[in-house]
Amino acid sequence: MIIGRYYIDQKSVVPKIVIGAVIALLALVPLFTTSMVTLSTLISSGIWSIAVMGFILILRTGQFSMGQAAFMAIGGYVSAILTVRLGLPYWPSFLAAGVISGIIALGIGLIVLRAGGTSFSIITIAFGEIVRIVALNWDDVTRGASGILTKPPAPITIGNFEINFATNLVPFYYFMFFLVIASALFFWQIDRSRVGGTFRSVAANPVLAEHLGIHLMKYRVIAFTMAGVFTGFAGAYYVTFISVINPLIFDLWKSVQIMMMSIVGGPTLIVGGAIVGSTVLYSLGNYLTQLPVANVQYLVFGAVVVLVLLFLPKGTGLVDLWGKFWRKVFKEPEEYEIPGEFSQEDEE
């Protein structure tokens, strides 16, 4: 279900075949290049895009969470502590990271979503700071400021073919690929299903939605919890990839970065916007940190977000620009969206 021009249906902007081609191309990337830079940029972008999808899902209910990096930190610490400090195997720990992050999101959501709106944003900032301070000071568990060196998953041997995460980036790439596809399918499906419509109604007119029988808190908490689960997975995998976790990795700046990625990509499309935004900003950031000017990354990110907001129509981000281009090239009329399933009824 779609509400208005803010929420353009993905298939109306980009045909399925183009999406399929892009996915196929991305699946084959490791065959063309083994360049460390390319692969690690893509891996990181992909992981961040999962967190961005979570952010956009919360945004669908009209809430602006500024503590999403904290859930990445929780996921990261859970998996690091379970694998390194308790010696559990990687994959169960990875699952536990998402589950525990989700449970914490559920608890936090039940408390702070009561406030809602701007207060919610402020409290999520405070929550992010709490997580960072706890990670910094709880030496016995988190090893404080020095952090934990994470372990990659154990090699998997199938016949005489070995998948070794420790020596090669390609397995990392493919698991990222799987993770992004799985998350994308989940978020895309929930966004277009009846639940997604309910989320939007909660954001668009909470008072009316409540009087039409929608329990506002329930849906806000659902969105926040689901985002928490997937953000936890993303965090767990990210720290495995960069092979360390410490309190500095997921600070307030990273939460804001997640928000920035969603804005630059365009929150109208939960999957497309997240992937475009995270890839563009992550690659840009990667390039900027190599420049010999300190802090230029902050400046440019800030400027890019403000410029995107000012010059792309009403905060629809880069994906909408793509949609405009597509319509222009293929001369598709820009008419009001009609959900497919009703068009037959029209003829009755």
CB 180 within 8 A of CB 22: no
174 versus 186: smaller Cβ distance to another protein: 186
175 versus 301: smaller Cβ distance to another protein: 301
Encoded amino acid at 138, one letter: W
3 versus 170: smaller Cβ distance to another protein: 3
CB 244 within 8 A of CB 150: yes
Tell me, what DSSP letter sits at residue 244?
E
Which one, of 162, 161, 168, 191, lies nearest residue 43 by Cα? 168
Distance of CA 3 to the CA centre of its chain: 22
Least Å distance between CB 228 and another protein? Answer: 17
Encoded amino acid at 103, one letter: I
236 versus 249: smaller Cβ distance to another protein: 249
Least Å distance between CB 299 and another protein? Answer: 3
167 versus 193: smaller Cβ distance to another protein: 193
H or E element in which residue 158 lies: strand 156-158
Dig out the tokens for 241 from the structure.
């990839």
The residue with tokens 């709880």 is 138
Least Å distance between CB 12 and another protein? Answer: 14
162 versus 334: smaller Cβ distance to another protein: 334
Least Å distance between CB 206 and another protein? Answer: 10
Least Å distance between CB 262 and another protein? Answer: 8
Interatomic CA distance for residues 302 and 126, integer angstroms: 22
Helices (H) and strands (E) in the chain, counts: 16, 4
Encoded amino acid at 165, one letter: F
Distance of CA 19 to the CA centre of its chain: 19
Least Å distance between CB 346 and another protein? Answer: 7
**24-47: b or e for each residue (b if 16 or more CB lie within 10 Å)?**
eebeebbeeeeeeebbbbbbbbbb
88 versus 300: smaller Cβ distance to another protein: 300
H or E element in which residue 132 lies: helix 117-137
Least Å distance between CB 292 and another protein? Answer: 11
The residue with tokens 């249906």 is 9
